[in-house]
Amino acid sequence: MAEPIIEMKHVCKSFSVPVKGQQGWKSIFYRKNQTVDVLNNINFSIDEGEFIGYIGPNGAGKSTTIKLLTGILYPSRGDIRVMDYNPHRDRYHYTYHIGVVFGQRSLLEFDIPVMDSFKLYQAIYELDGRLFQERLDEFTHLLKLDDLLHVPVRKLSLGQRMRCEIAASLLHRPKVIFLDEPTIGLDALSKHEIRQFLTRINQEEKVTIILTTHDMGDIEQLCERIVFINVGNIVYDGPLDTLKNNYITHKDIVIVYEEPIDVPDAFVSLLKEKNITTYTFNVPNAEVVSIVPALLQLGAAYDVSIHEPTLEDVVKIIYSNHIHA
Amino acid sequence: MKVMAGKYLVIFITQMKNLLEYKINILLKLIRPFVMTAAVGSLWLVLFKLTGRDNIGGFTRQSFIIYLLTIRFIAVFSPGGASIAEMNEEIRTGNLAMRLVRPAHYLPWLLFRNLPVPFISGITGLILVSILTVLLGADLPKAGMMLLFVCSVIATITLQYAIYQGIGILSFWIYEVFPIERFYKSVSGLLSGELIPLTIFPATASEVLQFLPFASLAFIPGGIFTGVFTFEQALVRVIVQWTWAAILWGLVITTYQRGLEKFEAQGG
């Protein structure tokens, strides 16, 4: 059995933050600090070629995990290995093999054409001229960069810039890619193009990808496995389908009747929403097939549809369960 | 090693391209040091005239102007407050993260990003200072002394970068480092010989000050060029300069490593 490409064992991360409300002269020279635990005993391993969705609410510890995996932060406790490197200790050599995209930060030079930034990264990653050109041609085609290469970065739209950011991060053919909200703020078309591109390099080049995002569309379309983190703890690690099956216990049956109906007592508990002649019933999965005919008997209906909660809904359920736990 | 140097050279070239996008900014940066020199020089010329003396603190009117030109020429190589501002912002906002995930060391990266302005100013400054020195009829130092002068200038620049990067690195612990920079500039202006040659201070104070790192920033190279020191005195002072440079760079690198352990990479 192949060794995992990424391994986190018993990883904890805490930050020291000043205690609020310290005043007076003494506080200039001495500040009391308190320790805030951001990650608690994180364990997971990832195999080569996997596409992982690393999700969780704001402040859950997603970005901290990515920063630990990329060597930006030092763990307070525990071991991290990526491709046999210790990310923070071997950071210089390690970074030749990883690609990192932070959706909210830029690695392109703002005032000069995109191509100059690409050439900068060609030098930083010590890329051979021919290989660089091949890769650039490939990305120019896949990410439609033809018209962007000679435009100063400050003149690009967000979607155009993000395509260039992704290209700049992957020119050196990294084996592992960390994407922190790469589609944030993008329109539907730009998201689609980036998702297609990521799917392609994951499948064709067997690149391992870890994606953190709040966009459940990204997760549904790209990831087979989900790692769900909340308040610094992993609360789910497994296939996307299993996550859905565990949490999707009911479906919505929406029926539009020709005129308002009286809902019998037997179905009142299932009625979720009523809007003039549109009735939404929330029914356990196992009973959907048997209940639909009965509901259609309640009045003359001219439309019926069955809705499964989206991943977005599932995530909301998990967030609220854990927040209120 | 060659490839390693290559990547930092490309960082320098890229930053030069960035800089050339703002040509008026460059022009003003080129002019500013000479305006300041003219201001300080004028004050001293007035002082010579009012006192009626030919020699103040071992400097004649002519040697004083050459001294001022020399130290101003060296000062244009300073990375300046912009390098502190850049480091402060990258650490405070967490953007340093974007540098740390690339195979290039951050301190030399920043160093080469900050070289284009001194590079441009240095070349134009050298031309200007050479012309003025010839016009003023200054005696240039002899070969051995000139060699010590060059070593001294390189030590000064090395020391300046250590100090500026050191102040920037404090951003790992202190949110606002600019008051420290301003305090440093005030102290340095007084104790480095930038405004007043250290020979004007009382003899004991002058001796002590010449062995502090501040003197290395202006008085020592300026003094070597204008013949304040004998060859042996100059040699000792150049050794002192390099010792301070080594100590400060050691401190900078150690502090940077400690800072990285504390770095929180704020923001998403």
What DSSP designation does A113 have? B
What's B172's DSSP letter?
Answer: G
**Is residue A15 predicted with pLDDT exceeding 80?**
yes
Best residue in B101, B107, B110 for a mutation probing chain A (most A CBs within 10 Å): B101
B149-179 as b/e: b if 16+ CB within 10 A: bebbbbbbbbbbbbbbbbbbbbbbeeeebee
Contact B17/A116, CB-based, under 8 Å?
A: yes
Torsion sign (Cα): A122, A125, A128, A130 = negative
Which of A67, A105, A120 has its CB closest to that of B11? A120
Chain A residue with the nearest C-alpha to that of B8 = A124
Q: Worst-scoring range by mean pLDDT, A37-46, A168-177, B24-33, B51-60?
A: B24-33
Query: Would you state the pLDDT for residue B1?
Result: 54
pLDDT digits (tens, 9 = 90+) for B134-153: 877 777 788 999 999 999 99
| Phi, psi of A239, deg, nearest 5 | -65, 150
Domain that residue B180 falls in? 2-266
Please state which of the ranges A45-49, A129-133, A163-167, B34-38 shows the lowest mean pLDDT: B34-38
CB within 8 Å: A124 and B18: no
Cα of A95 to nearest chain B Cα, Å: 5
A15 touches chain B (CB under 8 A): yes
Stretch B236-264: mean pLDDT = 95
Nearest to A92 among B10, B103, B264 (CB): B103
Which of A65, A72, A214 to probe the B interface (max B CBs under 10 A)?
Answer: A72
Number of domains in chain B: 1
* Alpha-carbon span B261 to B114, nearest angstrom: 25
Contacts of A98 in chain B (CB under 8 A): 101
Q: Give the gyration radius of chain A's Cα atoms.
A: 25
CA distances from B22 to A63, B110, B115, B119 (A): 35, 19, 16, 16
Rounded percentage of chain B residues whose pLDDT exceeds 70:
97
Query: Minimal Cα–Cα distance from B14 to chain A, Å?
Result: 7
Cα–Cα distance between B71 and B241 in angstroms, integer? 15
By three-state DSSP, how is residue A107 classified?
A: coil
The pLDDT, as a whole number, for residue A325 is 42
- Chain B CB contacts of A109 below 8 Å: 14, 17-18
pLDDT tens per residue across span B175-190: 889 999 999 999 998 8
Q: Are A176 and A207 in contact (CB under 8 A)?
A: yes
Sorting pLDDT into bands at 50, 70 and 90, what band is A51? very high
- Cα of B263 to nearest chain A Cα, Å: 7
A275 sits in which H/E element: strand A271-275
Contact B264 A15 (CB under 8 A): yes
Q: State the CB neighbour count (10 A cutoff) for residue A145.
A: 20
pLDDT, mean of residues A247-258: 90
Q: How many CA atoms lie within 13 A of A201 on its CB side?
A: 26
Confidence band (pLDDT; 50, 70, 90) for A324?
very low
pTM of the model: 0.83
What pLDDT score was predicted for residue A20? Answer: 74
Counting DSSP H helices and E strands in chain A, the numbers are 12, 13
Best of A88, A112, A116 to mutate (most B CBs within 10 Å, chain B): A112
**A–B CB contacts, 8 A cutoff, strictly below:** 86
CB contact under 8 A, A105 and B264: no
| pLDDT tens string A215-233 | 888 888 899 899 999 889 9
Instruction: Please give, rounded to a whole number of angstroms, the shortest distance from the CA of B182 to a CA of chain A.
Output: 19
ipTM: 0.82
- Looking at CA atoms only, how far is residue B260 from chain A in angstroms? 8
Contact of A60 with chain B, judged by CB distance below 8 Å, is answered with: no
Cα-Cα-Cα-Cα torsion A167, A169, A171, A173, nearest 10 degrees, comes to -120
Instruction: Give the residue among B36, B38, B29, B35 at the shortest CA–CA distance from B79.
Output: B29
Distance from CA of A120 to the nearest CA of B (A): 6
Task: Give the model's pLDDT for residue A122.
Answer: 95
Nearest by CB: B104 against A106, A116, A124: A124
List B residues 72-111 in contact with A (Cβ-Cβ < 8 A): 94-95, 97-98, 100-105
What pLDDT, on a 0 to 100 scale, did the predictor assign at position A46? 96
Q: Please give the Cα distance from A211 to A202 (Å, whole number).
A: 12
What gap in Å lies between CA B8 and CA A249, rounded to an integer? 58
Selected for mutation to probe chain A from B16, B102, B110 (highest A CB count within 10 Å) is B102
pLDDT over 50 at A54, yes or no: yes
**A12: three-class secondary structure by DSSP:** strand
What distance in Å separates residue A112's CA from the closest CA in chain B?
A: 6
Across the range B76-95, mean pLDDT stands at 86
- Determine the Cα–Cα distance for residues B143 and B145; give it in Å rounded to an integer: 6
Q: How far is B129 from chain A (nearest CA, A)?
A: 33
Average pLDDT of the residues of chain B: 87
pLDDT tens digits, one per residue of A101-117: 988 888 899 899 999 99
Residues of B in contact with A70 (CB under 8 A): 97, 100-101
- For residue A2, the model assigns a pLDDT of 67
Rounded to an integer, the average pLDDT of B99-118 is 90
pLDDT mean over A28-40: 82
Chain A residues with CB under 8 Å of B97 CB are 67, 70, 72, 102, 105
Residue B125: per-residue pLDDT = 76
B9 CB neighbours in chain A (<8 A) are: 123
